[in-house]
Amino acid sequence: MALAVNAHNPKGGLINMAKEVDQGASRIEEVIDEASGKAYLPPCQVRCPLKIDIQRNHVMISCLPLDEKEARSQILKIGDEVYDQNPLFPIICGHICGLCEKECNYKDQTGAVRRKLLLRFIAEHYLPYLKTKPSYAPPTREKVAVIGGGPASLMCAHTLSKKGYQVAMVERCSDLGGALRLIPRYRLPKNILDDTVDSLVRIARIDVRDVKFEPKMGDWAKTMGELRKEGYQAIFIATGTPFPRRLRFEGKLVAGADLQGIMFGLNLLSDVNKGKVDPRLFEGKRVIVIGGGNVAFDAARTARRLGGKITLVCLENEDKSSKDGIPADVEEIEGATEEGVEIIYSRGVEEIIGEDGKFKKIECPRCTGVYNEMGYRGFNPKFDRSDVIYVEGDVLLITIGQTWPRTPFRQLGLLDERDRIDVDPIALMSNRKEGIFIGGDVRRVGFAAEAMREGIIAAESIDRYLKGEDLKKGREKEYEKAAIPRAAEYKPQPELMWLPAKERINFKPFEKGFTLEEAVEEGGRCLYCGPCKSCKGCVALELQIEIPEIEVNRDICSGCGVCVLLCSYDAIKLEKSENGSVAVIDDIRCKRCGVCVAACPSAAINLEHCIDEEIMSEIEGVLV
């Protein structure tokens, strides 16, 4: 953050240094590392599928006034910025994602910045305003249809609406949200899901059509033909993976899945959220859950809340750093363990054993490896049949992933010779039929934010397609991650505050959110690893007019190296010159903090404009 030292007033809020800020000056710029040719960003933003301006958000949160009434307008400004990049942020960023935290430079020090809690804090204040946020201008451009109502579809429709297109959404379920509707209420409260999705539909002026768009309910080709007749110029299909995957062992279906007492975890989660399940469904029963992902843990913890004694069996081992490590989030594993869920690692299911037509137990050989050298994409479990255990239970919940129906895609001629969706991986347009685009989980199963990214890609492709432009030009981009700055010590990560396990065996949210003061403190813990020009949080807050340029006067630089030693961001190095050595500053990595300016004994380093004498004296005092 440029001039980070000037951000806080001891009483909370900002020290306003800039007298007048051109709004255009606060717009972020793409920063390209000339040496690598890659876009240079903090690792959290590189990992974020939506490339949200994370560092900028944190800068602005860290500078919130400590009075809630004074902070409100700035909170809404932050919310508006995040909403523009992710209209589902109260759900995705605030409650379920956390991909950015997995790549935070802090993660291997004292723990990642609690980004999810920070955005949840913003969302709590933003949601009431969101209900009144004005809709976009009425559409003036072509008609586009979106098939499906999940994250990819919603993001595509929203993006197209912002561009002026008339968007209709064809969805088989009355409640939009797709797989988001399966997340337990203790993780994602229903009112937050409903309010966020309903607001998106209203703001983006999406025409939602309740159509039973399933193979058994009708003819896909007929429905698509009707959409074409109605003047829809392009169609995006993002129907997700609504069906549970059946249990297999070494490529073959495991027999016995039709026994009484065997269920799919996906169906359980859906029925619970729809209020179709008795609250004590599993009272006094031993429930075995098969699976190692977050959805399996959702099923296990849900079954625990329905009264069951839970055992979770997974192929993966407990070492998350291993290529065969369990994929579920640490918080899910810890939470489930606290709630009494037993986890059995490194076991497969070779046989389901029943008695009198009822499920009784599973035969579990030891799993010696889950993935081959390709990693996650190379799923190829290996087993040691000489090491077998049996796990007994009354109920078996199979939660090993989801799949998609091929029949509709066959009807439309969208599959290749291997019965796979044939789509261009860059533009997401079908290689079989022009004007049809396919994305989200139906194309490649992943996280919700990754499905949303495909919605953005599809919207851009549709826009280019309808304009007659090249669908692929300039679409591929590589990124370079900013390194962690050096520090004598790093600020500790705040602990998650959960209700005790005995008090949370229900479907009420149990994780305490941030107060205003806690949010400001955690936002300030961010290391601001990325370049100033791709952030400009200080300019948006009117702390300064623009990002200042920094220069070294080569004529008076003595090459002493004091600046090199003091720079926490390794932005300065010494190069040979005619008179010995001279300091050279990397404009990308420099944070304009002013430390080198204050420390230079030759006064050879200068920051152009926006250097307050009081601030510089503070820096000099710290150095002394």
246-399 and 550-623, same CATH topology? no
Rounded to whole angstroms, the Cα distance separating 227 from 233 reads: 9
Over 70: is that where the pLDDT of 578 sits?
Answer: yes
Cα 316–318–323 angle (5° rounding)? 55
Nearest in space to 198 (alpha carbons), one of 273, 120, 88: 88
Q: What's at 396, amino acid-wise?
A: L
Report whether pLDDT(17) > 50. Answer: no
Q: Report domain extents, the chain.
A: 4-133+485-540, 143-242+404-467, 246-399, 550-623
Among 3.40.630.30, 3.40.50.300, 3.40.630.40, 3.50.50.60, name the CATH number for the domain at 143-242+404-467: 3.50.50.60
Extended beta strands in 460-509, E state? 479-481
> How far is the C-alpha of 287 from the C-alpha of 302, rounded, in Å?
11
Give the pLDDT confidence of 194-215 residue by residue, as tens digits: 999 999 999 999 999 755 444 3
First to last CA, the chain: 23
- For residue 405 the two structure tokens come to 């129906």
Number of Cβ within a 10 Å radius of residue 513: 16
pLDDT of residue 4 exceeding 50, the answer is no
Average pLDDT score over residue span 574-585 = 91
- How far apart, in Å, are the Cα atoms of 229 and each of 206, 217, 218, 225? 19, 21, 18, 6
Give the whole-angstrom CA distance, residue 103 versus residue 84.
Answer: 23
Confidence of residue 519 (pLDDT cuts 50, 70, 90): very high
Tell me what the mean pLDDT of segment 413-425 comes to: 95
Joined tokens for residue 547? 């990002």
Could you write out the DSSP letters of every residue in 163-195? TT-EEEEEESSSS--GGGGGS-TTTS-HHHHHH
Pick from 120-134, 402-416, 489-503: least confident: 402-416
Give the residue, 35 or 553, on which the prediction is more confident. Answer: 553
Question: What are 338-396's pLDDT values in tens digits?
Answer: 999 999 999 999 999 999 999 999 999 999 999 987 665 678 999 999 999 999 999 99
**Is 272 strand, coil or helix?**
helix
pLDDT in tens, 52-66: 999 999 999 999 999
Lowest-pLDDT range of 88-92, 173-177, 251-255, 482-486: 173-177
Q: Which option is the CATH number for 246-399: 3.10.180.10, 3.50.50.60, 3.90.550.10, 3.30.465.10?
A: 3.50.50.60
SS3 sequence of 587-611: CCCCCCCCHHHHHCCCCCEEECCCC
Instruction: Give the CA radius of gyration of the chain.
Output: 27
pLDDT at 495 over 90: yes
Look at residues 580, 572, 579 and name the one whose alpha carbon lies nearest to residue 599.
Answer: 572
What is the average per-residue pLDDT within 117-127? 98
Q: How many of the other CB atoms lie within 10 Å of CB of 479? A: 16
Contact 469, 119 (CB under 8 A): no
Asked if 494 contacts 518 with a C-beta cutoff of 8 angstroms, the reply is yes
- The answer to whether 212 and 172 are in contact (CB under 8 A) is yes
Q: Distances in Å between the alpha carbon of 205 and those of 142, 160, 230?
A: 14, 11, 18
* Of the candidates 457, 440, 555, 620, the residue with the CA atom closest to the CA atom of residue 51: 457
| SS3 at position 315 | coil
CB within 8 Å of 521: residues ≥ 6 apart: 494
Q: Which of 534, 545, 546, 588 is nearest to 53 (CA)?
A: 534
pLDDT in tens, 308-340: 999 999 999 999 989 999 999 999 999 999 999
Amino acid letter for position 241: T
Closest by CA to 74, choosing from 542, 610, 547, 545, is 542
Residue bearing tokens 């810890």: 334
Measured between alpha carbons, how far is 152 from 610 in angstroms, rounded to an integer?
43
The predicted pLDDT at position 233 comes to 96
* Closest of 228, 223, 232 to residue 408, by C-alpha: 223
Helix (H, G, I), strand (E, B) or coil at 19: coil
Is residue 421 helix, strand or coil? strand
Other CB atoms closer than 10 Å to residue 264's CB: what's the count? 22
CA–CA distance, 533 with 536 (Å, rounded to integer)? 6
Statement: residue 223 has pLDDT above 90: no
- What pLDDT is attached to residue 12? 47
Identify the residue with better confidence: 259 or 617: 259
Does this model's pTM top 0.85? My answer is: yes
Per-residue model confidence (pLDDT) at position 15: 41
- Amino acid letter at 160? L
Distance, in Å, from the CA atom of 82 to the CA atom of 586, rounded to the nearest integer, reads: 29
Rounded distance between C-alpha atoms, residue 119 and residue 92, angstroms: 9
- Between CA 329 and CA 301 the distance in angstroms is 14
CA–CA distances in Å: residue 62 to residues 4, 17, 56, 119, 487: 10, 17, 10, 13, 19
Determine which helix (DSSP H) or strand (DSSP E) holds 331, and give its type and residue range.
helix 330-338
CA 105-441-293 angle, 5° bins:
60
Q: What is the mean pLDDT of the chain?
A: 91
CA dihedral 447, 299, 146, 450 (to 10 degrees): 0
CATH annotation of 550-623: 3.30.70.20
- Cα–Cα distance measured from residue 612 to residue 598, given in angstroms and rounded to the nearest whole number: 12
143, containing H or E segment:
strand 143-147
pLDDT classification of 9: cutoffs 50, 70, 90: very low
